[in-house]
């Protein structure tokens, strides 16, 4: 069976996360989105585990269900050097035991616990309990594994189970790194709220025997991810090298010359695009035989918001979103499969934008420095200010 899975979200117990991130809200929103399997997030937090137990029915083999939405236990741990690790856990009992073993001062106050353990130590600990582990958003400059290591094996010593790409990278980028040829790539939302433009904004289509922990483990081991779905990577807020204060895009070589300090006084953050270039083996991607297509899409509420220039959480945008979902079913089905001529009967402009995504004819200004990229469906956008070696020389010589 084909399963749409978003395996990295957070609960209401994580910092900067909506108080509405509760099972009773996540389950119905996941169903409207079109997700079949969702990671609980924050499964080392005792309070969140209590809520999961109270709010779901245990179906066996690691699956906890609420209103036709199935969950498996997942957590993100911040280890040594602020590197984030994504972990899948078989049962609540194991989650509690691992939480007790994890040396962390904030595990009872924050859904994403921090520890001084390094990647190899965390891997060894969780593998004793049949867990799966891999780097979360592996390339991002603040907390991604590759910010500190040139090789994944330097971080974990052994091969982890998967790589999570993150919002600022996709398969074409990651498959320029030769050591990743044998890895399964996952694309997840890292959602901090149950809004439809957050939950499932990136997800995986996985061939599974059934919905269970053991089936998910088997599918990842046997490389049965059949498609990755997610944003254009240049929409990610850390895709390009840019200033975190003024958000100006800056030539990476110039940034290094200036010791990662912008002329405005802000700090320059190295972009995912450049970091992958530093560790890549090839200029063009080398896709292994098992690698599925990466399909670029955008949450439907974001599409409607962009077209009509209205806030994504406004009644106007959410009303149009709901009308389409009521007419055609889950959002994922609409974005991928619903005939364009059917969508245009409900909303002509939205149908044109969805068609543009399917055809790959969208215009993007890349994101960087903590600012998301921008998108247009019918006209060129005004580019963000960019500072390069060439234009600095021109200004200096003026």
> What pLDDT was estimated at residue 377?
80
Q: What is the pLDDT of residues 249-268, one digit of tens each?
A: 999 999 999 999 999 999 99
- Predicted confidence band at 396 (pLDDT cuts at 50, 70, 90)? very low
pLDDT averaged over every residue in the chain = 94
Q: What is the pLDDT of residues 180-206, one digit of tens each?
A: 999 999 999 999 999 999 999 999 999
**What b/e readout covers 43-76, taking b as 16+ CB neighbours within 10 angstroms?**
bbbeebbebbeebbeeeeebbbebeebbbbbbbb
CATH number at residue 84: 3.20.20.140
Answer whether 0.85 is exceeded by the pTM: yes
How far apart (Å, rounded) are the C-alpha atoms in residues 267 and 28? 41
> What pLDDT was estimated at residue 29?
97
In-domain check, residue 31: yes
- Predicted confidence band at 392 (pLDDT cuts at 50, 70, 90)? very low
Q: Which long-range contacts (CB under 8 A, 24 or more apart) does 284-291 make?
A: 284/176, 285/171, 285/172, 285/173, 285/174, 285/175, 285/176, 286/175, 286/176, 286/178, 286/181, 287/171, 287/175, 288/175, 288/181, 288/182, 290/223, 291/171, 291/175, 291/185
- Predicted confidence band at 270 (pLDDT cuts at 50, 70, 90)? very high
pLDDT of 170 > 50? The answer is yes
In-domain check, residue 157: yes
Domain hosting residue 335, numbered range: 297-361
**Sheet of 242-243: strands edge to edge?**
268-269, 242-243, 249-250, 386-387
pLDDT of 130 > 60? The answer is yes
Q: Which two tokens stand for residue 181?
A: 């040829």
pLDDT of 374 > 50? The answer is yes
Cross-strand bridge partners of residue 58? 64
- Predicted confidence band at 53 (pLDDT cuts at 50, 70, 90)? very high
In-domain check, residue 371: no
The label of the residue with tokens 């741990």 reads 77
Q: Residue 308: which residues within 8 A CB-CB, separation 6 or more?
A: 316, 317, 320, 349
Do 302 and 179 reside in the same domain of the chain? no
> What pLDDT was estimated at residue 179?
98
**Count of the separate structural domains present in the chain:** 2
pLDDT of 395 > 70? The answer is no
Do 226 and 301 reside in the same domain of the chain? no
Tell me which of 207, 234, 261 is where a domain ends. Answer: 234
Do 61 and 200 reside in the same domain of the chain? yes
Q: What is the pLDDT of residues 327-367, one digit of tens each?
A: 999 999 999 999 999 999 999 999 999 999 999 999 999 99
């Amino acid at each position: 069976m084909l399963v749409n899975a978003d395996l990295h979200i957070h609960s209401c117990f994580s910092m900067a996360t909506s108080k509405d991130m509760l099972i009773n809200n996540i389950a119905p929103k996941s169903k409207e989105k079109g997700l079949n399997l969702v990671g609980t997030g924050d499964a080392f937090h005792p309070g969140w585990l209590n809520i999961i137990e109270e709010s779901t029915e245990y179906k066996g083999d690691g699956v906890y269900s609420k209103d036709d939405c199935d969950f498996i236990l997942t957590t993100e741990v911040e280890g040594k050097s602020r590197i984030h690790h994504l972990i899948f856990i078989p049962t609540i009992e194991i989650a509690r035991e691992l939480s007790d073993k994890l040396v962390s001062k904030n595990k009872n106050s924050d859904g994403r616990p921090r520890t001084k353990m390094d990647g190899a130590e965390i891997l060894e600990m969780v593998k004793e309990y049949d867990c799966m582990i891999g780097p979360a958003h592996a390339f991002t400059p603040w907390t991604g594994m590759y910010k500190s290591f040139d090789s994944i094996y330097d971080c974990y010593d052994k091969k982890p189970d998967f790589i999570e790409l993150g919002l600022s990278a996709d398969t074409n980028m990651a498959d320029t790194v030769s050591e990743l040829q044998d890895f399964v790539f996952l694309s997840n939302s890292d959602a901090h709220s149950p809004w439809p433009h957050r939950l499932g904004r990136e997800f995986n289509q996985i061939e599974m025997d059934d919905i269970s922990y053991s089936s998910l483990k088997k599918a990842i081991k046997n490389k049965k991810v059949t498609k990755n779905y997610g944003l254009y990577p240049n929409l990610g807020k850390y895709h390009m090298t840019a200033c975190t204060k003024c958000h100006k895009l800056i030539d990476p070589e110039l940034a290094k010359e200036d010791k990662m300090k912008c002329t405005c006084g802000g700090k320059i953050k190295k972009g995912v695009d450049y970091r992958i270039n530093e560790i890549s083996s090839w200029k063009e991607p080398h896709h292994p035989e098992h690698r599925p297509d990466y399909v670029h899409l955008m949450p439907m509420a974001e599409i409607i918001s962009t077209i009509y220039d209205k806030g994504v959480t406004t009644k106007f945008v959410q009303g149009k979103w709901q009308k389409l979902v009521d007419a055609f079913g889950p959002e994922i089905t609409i974005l991928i499969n619903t005939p364009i001529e059917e969508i245009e009967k409900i909303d002509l402009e939205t149908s044109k934008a969805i068609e543009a995504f399917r055809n790959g004819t969208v215009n993007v200004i890349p994101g960087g420095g903590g600012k998301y990229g921008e998108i247009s469906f019918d006209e060129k956008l005004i580019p963000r200010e960019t500072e390069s070696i060439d234009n600095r020389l021109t200004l200096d010589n003026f």
